[in-house]
């Protein structure tokens, strides 16, 4: 590594020294094989494959699939699928009686069950309510959730999402918005 020194005089008795470092190639400092992380038991997830650096930096679950079904008997069923890492997916399921608000509640509850499954029960959620409303010339879905982390105190969480095309899907996204920070903290300390 070469360093070039430049001295610039200033008025009175002060002077500033600027050091310029010549660029060096990263390969000369670290051969490519040293940049790779070797597989180790601590860097593997239950599926057995090695976790990449990009996956270690991920701070959120990805919402990958939503299925909602109304039965002729007046009941409805919802499934929400979330993905943590490629191939590691969790599914939350909920059932209930079909109605305008009942459908929203079942969709929101399925997303809470998926998050609970991801946390292996460490995070617990209770859906307080879900509602569609008109605000700022748009339809929105708003959810209220009670959350508990471990044996700690309950926290009330609130989330909303625009319900332009699909209010049921918006209920799921509103739950994800409500739980985002708590889930992010859980993932960071996992």
Q: Round to whole Å and give the CA distance between 7 and 13.
A: 13
Range of the domain at 97: 59-188
User: Would the pLDDT of 42 be above 50?
Assistant: no
Mean pLDDT, rounded, of the chain: 76
Looking at 38-47, 131-140, 170-179, which range is the least confident one? 38-47
**Is 155 among the domain residues?**
yes
* Span 32-46, average pLDDT: 39
The total number of structural domains in the chain stands at: 1
Angle at CA of residue 21, ends 29 and 26, nearest 5°: 20
User: Would the pLDDT of 172 be above 90?
Assistant: yes
pLDDT tens-digit profile of 90-99? Answer: 999 999 999 9
**Is 7 among the domain residues?**
no
Name beta bridge partners: 189. none
Instruction: Residue 160: give its domain's CATH number.
Output: 3.30.160.270
pLDDT tens-digit profile of 139-151? Answer: 999 999 999 888 7
Helices (H) and strands (E) in the chain, counts: 5, 8
**Is 12 among the domain residues?**
no
pLDDT tens-digit profile of 102-111? Answer: 999 999 999 9
Structure tokens at 47: 């599926």
**Is 168 among the domain residues?**
yes
Neighbours of 104 (CB within 10 A): 25
User: Would the pLDDT of 137 be above 70?
Assistant: yes
Looking at 39-43, 134-138, 160-164, 169-173, which range is the least confident one? 39-43
Q: In terms of pLDDT, which residue wins out, 76 or 23?
A: 76
**Is 53 among the domain residues?**
no
User: Would the pLDDT of 26 be above 60?
Assistant: no
User: Would the pLDDT of 33 be above 70?
Assistant: no
Residue 43 DSSP one-character state? G
């Amino acid at each position: 590594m070469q360093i070039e020194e430049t001295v610039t005089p200033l008025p009175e008795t002060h002077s500033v020294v600027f050091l310029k470092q010549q660029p060096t190639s990263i390969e000369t400092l670290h051969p490519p094989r040293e940049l790779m992380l070797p597989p180790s038991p601590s860097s593997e997830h239950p599926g057995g494959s090695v976790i990449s650096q990009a996956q270690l930096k991920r701070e959120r679950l990805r919402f990958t699939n939503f299925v909602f079904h109304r039965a002729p008997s007046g009941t409805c069923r919802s499934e929400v699928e979330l993905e943590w890492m490629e191939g590691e997916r969790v599914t939350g399921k909920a059932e209930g009686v079909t109605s305008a608000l009942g459908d929203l509640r079942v969709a929101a509850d399925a997303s809470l069950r998926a998050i609970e499954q991801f946390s292996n029960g460490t995070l617990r959620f209770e859906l307080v309510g879900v509602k569609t409303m008109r605000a700022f010339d748009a339809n929105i879905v708003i959810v209220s959730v009670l959350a508990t982390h471990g044996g700690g105190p309950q926290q009330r969480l609130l989330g909303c999402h625009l319900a332009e095309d699909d209010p049921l899907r918006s209920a799921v996204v509103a739950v994800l918005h409500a739980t985002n920070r708590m889930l992010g903290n859980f993932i960071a300390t996992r």
